[in-house]
Amino acid sequence: MTAIDISTRPIPFVSGASGPAGHFDEFCDRPLEFMARAYKECGEVSEFDMAGLRTVLMVGPEAHEAFFRAPDDQLNAAAAYQMMVPVFGEGVQFGAPPEIERQQLRIQYQGLKYEKMINYAALVAGEVEEFIKDWGDEGEKDFYEAFTDLTLKTSTHCLLGSELRYQLTHEFEELYGDLDRGLDPAALRDPYQAKESYRKRDLARTRLQELVSHSVRSRRDRGVVSNDMLQIYMEAQYEDGTKLTDHEITGMVIWFMFAGHHTSSNTAAWTLVEMARNPQYFADLHAEIDALYAKQKELSMNALRDIPLLEGFVRESLRLHPPLNVISRRVLKEFTYKDYTVDVGKNVMLCPHVAHKLPDYFPNPDVFDPKRAAPENVFASIAFGGGKHKCIGNAFALLQVRAIFCALLREYDFALSQGPEDYKEVMPTLILRPSEPCRLRYKRRTH
Ligand code: HEM
């Protein structure tokens, strides 16, 4: 006779599953609305069906903490993120054995060390000056596009060096876009299905490898040694003394660009939209930035720490519009949370967009409040994840976005050119972004 474990309750199942696809189509069409509905209907723990892949959504700081504290051999990131493998390449990050992934992550860290970061603020400010030099006294722009372009340049410049920055051709951007479009929510289920967008993703990966390998060869032939990530990758050694192959170097480049680019560009776009939706703060923002430039002409890492209102804007934008909303793990060993048991083979998922609207931690959650106090529970805000896989680029991302706004607000005022509600949240790939057009007006300040 089998004993019945009365301490375990069945996980509430979200309504509306249909046939073998279950909730898959609704999730792919409207992932954020679907996860909000799952939480509203079932509470802190809910289960849904992604075309056969049972997935458990966990919401709230207690649940987040249990998720982030679970060991890798129980809740596993690599198994859940296999859709990244065709993008970064076999043998890189989640396509590599855990021991190699750990060593690759250690190599990535080297580009984000404090002594590297102190150079980045000035580089970003220089890029912004270049970016605004032809703007004139006033005009209008699509800032989703503009920030995508700007942060591709700032990230490439800071992390991969001047050489690759100035080789950023139209082809590079196209290839990068093809990789990006290969990461739709459906890839979570099967990144290898026969789809035109996935075919283009694979072609783009191959071509990018040719371009990066060419750069590496040319540096080696000319004996050039630069102070950037590419150099770090070229010189890095695994613990057994072997070096990264060109395939791995390309994967490391794509991995870092992917992790940092759209996440930062959308944070910048939402921050600007929220500034223009809340123009009552412009006078104080300008005063804060003017005081900063009055003390020093060049932006420094330290100066960027002393701008609380701007910081509040960025933090609140990350709360209301977190770029990454599917934080996922595969259950490799049975996982228990409170009265619930999640079986091996299922996925467990967190969604910052849902979690950041819990009124117990964020009173009046739909109100944008740049002066909102951070919740005491560190697991309430999860825009950068938590635990051992927490974002290693968060300091760089914040530095970059703050540096962009210091340079922009020093010169210009901004206003919406569409209705405040016409800037909608959309998630065609795994990153949340504003809908297009995302147009705003700018006007030179009279100091
Ligand atoms: C606003 C910007 C950013 C946001 C919102 C963000 C968000 C996140 C989140 C939520 C995770 C955890 C994923 C998980 O646990 O499954 C993560 C991990 C990571 N992020 Fe970021 N990120 C940002 C910028 C960056 C930048 C600029 C870089 C690099 C330059 C970067 C590099 C990474 C890496 C390498 C990981 C994986 C860490 C690991 O697996 O241990 N991120 N990021």
Any atom of ligand 1 within 6 Å of the Cβ of 323: yes
Give the mean pLDDT per block of 10 residues along the chain (447 residues).
62 97 95 97 97 97 98 96 94 96 95 86 89 96 95 86 74 85 87 94 92 87 87 95 94 90 96 98 96 83 85 98 97 97 97 98 98 96 96 94 94 96 92 96 91
| Domain assignment present for 84 | no
Task: Tell whether ligand 1 has an atom less than 6 A from the beta carbon of residue 252.
Answer: no
Range of the domain at 397: 89-324+388-444
The pLDDT value given to residue 169: 67
On whether residue 83 sits in a domain, the answer given is no
Using DSSP, state whether 315 is helix, strand or coil.
helix
In this structure, are 28 and 166 located in the same domain? Answer: no
Backbone angles phi, psi at 196, to 5 degrees: -60, -40
Within 13 A of 161's CA, how many CA atoms are on the CB side? 17
pLDDT score, position 2: 44
The predicted structure's pLDDT at residue 6: 53
Ligand 1 atom nearest to 390, measured from its CA:
12
* Residue 264 CA to ligand 1 centre (angstroms): 10
Residues 6+ away with beta carbon under 8 Å from 31: 185, 325, 326, 427
Structure tokens at 121: 């603020």
Pair (337, 246) in one structural domain: no
Sign of CA dihedral 190, 192, 197, 200: positive
Q: Ligand 1: which atom is nearest the Cα of residue 80?
A: 16
Q: Is residue 396 part of a domain?
A: yes
With beta carbons less than 8 A apart as the criterion, state whether 435 and 425 touch.
yes
> Which of 179, 182, 177 shows the shortest CA–CA distance to 193?
182
Q: Are residues 276 and 414 in the same domain?
A: yes
- Distance (Å) of CA 330 to CA 53, 76, 348: 10, 5, 6
CA gap 152, 173 in Å, rounded? 9
Residue whose Cα lies nearest atom 8 of ligand 1: it is 384
pLDDT, tens digit, for every residue of 252-289?
A: 998 988 888 999 999 999 999 999 999 999 999 999 99
| Same structural domain, 413 and 303 | yes
pLDDT at 204: 94
Ligand 1 center to residue 258 CA distance, Å? 9
Per-residue tokens: 441? 């007006």
Look at ligand 1, atom 16, and give the residue with the nearest C-alpha: 327
So what's the pLDDT on residue 291? Answer: 92
Q: Do 215 and 286 reside in the same domain of the chain?
A: yes
Confidence at residue 1, expressed as pLDDT on a 0 to 100 scale: 41
Q: What residues contact 337, with CB distance under 8 A and at least 6 apart?
A: 45, 58, 63, 66
DSSP one-letter code for 245: P
Query: Which of 382, 407, 424 is the endpoint of a domain?
Result: 382
Of 112, 254, 384, best ligand 1 pocket probe by most atoms within 8 Å of the beta carbon: 384
Among 391, 400, 427, 433, name the best residue to mutate to test ligand 1's pocket (greatest count of ligand atoms within 8 A of Cβ): 391
Any atom of ligand 1 within 6 Å of the Cβ of 383? yes
Question: Domain containing 100 — which CATH number?
Answer: 1.10.630.10
Count the domains in the chain.
Answer: 2
My answer on whether 377 and 393 are in the same domain is no
Cα 14 to averaged position of ligand 1 atoms, centre (Å): 29
Whether 422 and 273 have beta carbons less than 8 Å apart is answered as: no
Pairing of strands 45-50, 53-58: antiparallel
In this structure, the residue with its CA closest to atom 18 of ligand 1 is: 391
CA of 392 to the centre of ligand 1 (A): 6
From the CB of 105, is ligand 1 less than 6 Å away?
Answer: yes
Whether the CB-CB separation of 16 and 35 falls below 8 Å is answered with: no
Q: How far is the CA of 404 from the centre of ligand 1 (A)?
A: 19
pLDDT, tens digit, 9 for 90 and up, residues 186-235 = 898 889 999 999 999 999 999 988 888 888 888 889 998 888 888 999 99
Same domain, 292 and 237: yes
Separation CA 23–CA 238 (nearest Å)? 43
